[in-house]
Structure 1
Amino acid sequence: MISVLLVDDDEELTEMLSEYLQREGFHATAVHTGEEGEVQALSGRYSIVVLDVMLPRLSGIEVLRRIRASSQVPVLLLTARGDNIDKITGLELGADDYVPKPSSPGELVARLRAIMRRVQPQDAPATDAIRTGLLALWPAKRQATWQGSELDLTSTEFSLLEELARHAGQVVSKQNLSINALGRPLTRYDRRIDVHISSIRQKLGPRSDAKAWIQSVRGLGYLLIAE
């Protein structure tokens, strides 16, 4: 059973979400402060964290920052509808996705399941690796190495890089990246992929010619250089 940590100061909302998640086959636990959310998220007891950005005292963004300092547990943000600053900041800090508030419990469950499918694929032997140049990825284990060293990626970053690696040297459209890596069509003005790709670029570092390993092809998509 997937164990979900809900971090939101709205106790009525978390009670309703907990009941809905239980009916959908999840195990849900709710806490109501950022401080407690940080402790519980780092406890290793949860498969995924649902984190409200608008928490009193210690904000959700700061909680996310602290979580990402030592853990890659998947994090789904609850953001104010239309607040693009919090959404982009959260993605840049390593959130896997976001859902605007208010949203339906059904949408939340769909996003949780999509993230968990990326984290826990079941269709590849653990020994099968994707290799291109200095990059190696093991999809079944969700592990990657770059230049022989472990590459620390969020679940969403791993899925995007896996899709690019499977088509190394070829342009992959943003729409195909969104469908194949994130499990949903790309919507207008959606910057999720761009922000995650920017984070991956930083982790890979520059090439010897100072260019990025992941190239943006204007109007088409992204290309992982195969060397």
Structure 2
Amino acid sequence: MSSARILLVEDDPAIARSIIYTLERDGLEVTHCLLLSDARRQLALRPPDVLVLDVGLPDGNGLDLCRELRVHSSLPVLMLSAHGEEIDRVLGLELGADDYVSKPFSPRELLARVRGMLRRARMQPATPAPTVGANPFDIDLAGQRISLQGRPLPLTRREFGLLADLLRHPGRIRSREDLLSAVWGADSDSTDRTVDTHIKTLRAKLEEAAPGREYIVTHRGMGYSI
């Protein structure tokens, strides 16, 4: 993990210095960008292991870059925001961000989040993700509908949220905490058991739509992947 590369996109010099100091002291390599345009060049030149991305930047919104990345990449993304507003957090997670931290925050907390994302990313299978053409799922985010092999799935709102989140991270292990935060919200009183129960009913509906196929994989002690 000491050789991991972090791309930090943050326009506040004081916050950036604090993050860089904490991450580099822990042995991580940090590249810092002030602008989205610079971040896009760095991503094309040398993709990092984790992207730490501020929402509000001088030349645009970090959420736009997160949306662009999720079209073709499962790069772990940690969003930062000065607003602390629920709409920013929810929108960031819906666009595919892996985690979210509101300012002000402890640099040590951010380091712990980054290290957790690195661990989960390195647990993912080495096999490449399937191509878009081979994907049996069709997701309609606006309509809150998902079809499997052309057959609409009768999903509840929570089941839709779970399956949509797993599909946004193909091949990557999503911990129960990740799924709780993405689907129920960080302030929810729901527990890991809630995730397990909904995964069980979701599996049953997938099995009914496509008998003999196991689409959701359980990683004991770690979480689930698609």
* TM norm structure 2: 0.62
CA positional deviation for 1:93 = 1.1
The answer as to 2:177 corresponding to 1:192 is no
The SS at the match of 1:225 is helix
Whole-angstrom CA distance in 2 between matches of 1:108 and 1:6: 12
1:158 matched residue in structure 2: 172
Whole-angstrom CA distance in 1 between matches of 2:195 and 2:41: 43
The structure richer in helix per residue is 2
After superposition, give the CA deviation of every residue in 1:5-51 in whole Å (9 maximum; x if it has no partner): 10011122212211211111100110101111222234343111100
Whole-angstrom CA distance in 1 between matches of 2:107 and 2:195: 37
CA positional deviation for 1:144 = 5.1
Letter in 2 for 1:99: V
1:7 matched residue in structure 2: 9
Cα 1:69/1:43, change in 2 over 3 Å: farther
After superposition, give the CA deviation of every residue in 1:162-213 in whole Å (9 maximum; x if it has no partner): x7xxxxxxxxxxxxx22xxx4xxx9xxx642348xxxxxxxxxxxxxxxxxx
CA positional deviation for 1:153 = 5.0
Unaligned runs of 5+ in 2: 137-165, 186-193, 208-226
1:112 matched residue in structure 2: 114
Letter in 1 for 2:182: R
Contact 1:91 1:192 (8 Å CA) reproduced: yes
Cα 1:140/1:67, change in 2 over 3 Å: closer
1:222 matched residue in structure 2: 199
Letter in 1 for 2:12: D
1:38 matched residue in structure 2: 40
Counterpart among 17, 34, 57 of residue 55 in structure 1: 57
Counterpart among 131, 134, 150 of residue 149 in structure 1: 134
* TM norm structure 1: 0.61
CA positional deviation for 1:60 = 0.8
Cα 1:156/1:91, change in 2 over 3 Å: farther
Counterpart among 68, 71, 77 of residue 70 in structure 2: 68
Q: How many residues align?
A: 165
Matches within 5 A, 1:128-143: 139-141=124-126, 143=128
Cα 1:105/1:142, change in 2 over 3 Å: farther
Q: CA RMSD in A?
A: 3.3
Whole-angstrom CA distance in 2 between matches of 1:112 and 1:25: 12
1:199 matched residue in structure 2: none
Identity of aligned residues (%): 34
Cα 1:144/1:71, change in 2 over 3 Å: closer
Cα 1:146/1:42, change in 2 over 3 Å: closer
CA positional deviation for 1:62 = 1.2
